[in-house]
Chain A
Amino acid sequence: MVAPVLTRIAAGLTGKAITLFARIVTAPRAIWAGIEPVPMQRVYYANHTSNGDFVLIWTVLPAMLRRRTRPVAALDYWLAKPLRAFIGRDVFNAVLIDRRPDQRVEDPVTLMAQALDEGSSLILFPEGLRNMTDAPLMPFKSGLFHLATQRPEVDLVPVWISNLNQIMPKGEIVPLPLVCTLTFGAPLHLQPGEEKQAFLDRASTALLALRSEGQA
């Protein structure tokens, strides 16, 4: 009886502490360049350069939206250690998907669609892995397309996160306190009859286009 309540309180406090830390370090700034921060069901898809990515999206969302927004994260990473499992499952209420096709019992896209059906919004990184290359964006995996096929009515909102790779370059452990901007663009939907690659290219282009928008 007591333990779940304590876990929830601890999760709430940890969530507050993490967003406060993110605010102090990066003073994240949201630029709403295509949508307004209103309570609508959405799939936010963003570029992925650091483990801090979804924390920042989560931080700049107004509290009302944040409570209903779940990051989609890798089960093999987030369940590997007890503390990570607490943060991933209890604090962020992540939709945990298995990246290993041979070992997984549930289809990732089905899990995401389920979360949408329950009324949640999602944070998704269509590149699949953190981008360690010099290219601004890696090719998208097909998950975004399959989700758009299964739930075509949901808004797909591109979110460009700037600067985070400089705040915490790969392999560094101490974050550099630089200002981070998150640019939210206009929503996308799958067009009738649109091919997979054409859709993924369009989604990728829409995300990249936000890059210059966030400079202001």
Chain B
Amino acid sequence: MTETLNGTIAGTAPHLIWLLAGVALILIIATLIGEALRLRIAPDGSNPVIENLNARIAAWWGMVLLLALAFLAGRIGVVVLFAILSFSALREFLTLTSKARADHWALLGAFFIVLPLQYWLIGIDWYGLYSVLVPVYAFLLMPVVSALRGNPKGYLSRVAETQWALMICVYCVSHVPALLSLQIPGYEGRNVILIAWLIFTVQLSDVMQYVWGKLIGRRKLAPELSPSKTWEGLTGGVLTASAAGSALWWMTPFSLPQAAGIALIVTLMGSFGGLVMSAIKRDKGVKDWGHLIAGHGGFLDRLDSVVFAAPIFFHLVRFGWSLT
């Protein structure tokens, strides 16, 4: 149930360092390409696509650094980091949902009771409760808090959208640190690699969808939801990232074919996540969820694919490889 800090680092150090070094290498190449494009095409910073690309790459450095620090801090670091990400994501989501004054206490409860409780349960490894806290207890009790304050106007939309916010931003995101609690024989103390592999594969798929889309994107996937998503981008991104994820099978508990299958599933789920979250943004009339990550938008703009991939990945591994 508890891993010591040393155990985490000693068990994972070689593979984690390889993975981080690989990511750093990719980012160095990306930075060089970004700067070269700026020098060749618009040295005065007048090309918005290139400026956005460079802002994205700069933000990636920050995100990778933050994630690496959390990994080094061990279980607590990872749980706290994802709790903060959940908080920021929930803030972005609930800013856009329908709500009334009568929901004030229910919404405060979402931020200051449900969210910390979920991550505390993850921290102490209480699977039986953290897997039902949001879909059962929050689902039943938060509407009660709102109902007690009266005001039936738009009631169902209000409670349903609040529940959606919690499921997406707290429940799903929390399944990333929950991976630390799986007990896989012969893989003890290395679970943090599962997180690194998942995030690497899913985010690489996002990045490669962007790259393939910009290079050869022709046919729009869902023009009414997201003008930038194309079939070529989706296929190229999913296949490239699945190949990269499979190539890293030796640091996972999976065999090569297993790694390929799981990589395909999580990258597809990630793409679906991007699509669903785009539909919500369109519905609410916004382009980005927020503004805090330069070039990317909000936390949810970056997390949307992980949100959809993490719980499925968690349950696949739990069902197929874990003792718990």
Contacts and interface: CB of A to CB of B under 8 A. Distances in A.
Interface of A: 27, 29, 163, 166, 169-170, 172, 174, 176-179, 215-216
27 contacts: A27-B88, A27-B91, A27-B290, A27-B291, A27-B292, A29-B290, A29-B291, A166-B99, A169-B101, A170-B101, A172-B101, A172-B104, A174-B108, A176-B104, A176-B107, A176-B108, A176-B111, A177-B87, A177-B91, A177-B111, A178-B91, A178-B95, A179-B91, A179-B92, A179-B95, A215-B285, A216-B286
A174 B88 CA distance: 18
Contacts of B111: 176-177
A216 B288 CA distance: 7
A166 B285 CA distance: 18
A177 B92 CA distance: 9
A163 B101 contact: no
Closest 4 CB pairs of A and B: A179-B95, A169-B101, A178-B95, A29-B291
Given A27-B91, A216-B287, 19 more contacts: A27-B88, A27-B290, A27-B291, A29-B290, A29-B291, A163-B95, A166-B99, A170-B101, A172-B101, A172-B104, A176-B107, A176-B108, A177-B111, A178-B91, A178-B94, A178-B95, A179-B91, A179-B290, A215-B285
Contacts of A216: 286-287
A176 B99 CA distance: 12
Interface string B281-300: 00001110011100000000
A215 B107 CA distance: 21
A29 B92 CA distance: 12
Interface residues of B, number: 18
A177 B112 CA distance: 10
A178 to B, nearest CB: 5
Nearest to B290: A179
Contacts of A170: 101
Contacts, number: 34
A104 B108 CA distance: 41
Contacts of B95: 163, 178-179
Interface string B105-140: 001100100000000000000000000000000000
Provide the main secondary structure of the chain B interface: helix
Among A174, A176, A215, the one with the most B-chain Cβ atoms within 10 Å of its Cβ is: A176
A170 B87 CA distance: 24
A177 B86 CA distance: 13
Contacts of A166: 99
B112 to A, nearest CB: 8
Contacts of A172: 101, 104
Contacts of A169: 101, 104
Nearest to A176: B107
A163 B95 CA distance: 8
A120 B92 CA distance: 35
A169 B101 CA distance: 6
A178 B91 CA distance: 5
B283 to A, nearest CB: 13
Among B99, B104, B111, B292, the one with the most A-chain Cβ atoms within 10 Å of its Cβ is: B104
Given A27-B292, A172-B104, A177-B111, A215 B286 contact: yes
A29 B286 CA distance: 15
A176 B110 CA distance: 10
A166 B162 CA distance: 14
Nearest to A170: B101
Contacts of A163: 95
A214 to B, nearest CB: 11
A176 to B, nearest CB: 5
Contacts of B101: 169-170, 172
A130 to B, nearest CB: 15
Contacts of B108: 174, 176
A123 B125 CA distance: 51
Nearest to B284: A215
B312 to A, nearest CB: 29
Among B87, B95, B287, the one with the most A-chain Cβ atoms within 10 Å of its Cβ is: B95
A96 B216 CA distance: 62
Contacts of A29: 290-291
A174 B106 CA distance: 12
A177 B88 CA distance: 9
Nearest to B99: A166
A50 B75 CA distance: 41
Contacts of B107: 176
A80 B104 CA distance: 29
Interface in B68-93: 87-88, 91-92
B53 to A, nearest CB: 21
Contacts of B88: 27
Contacts of A174: 108
A179 to B, nearest CB: 4
Interface in B202-259: none
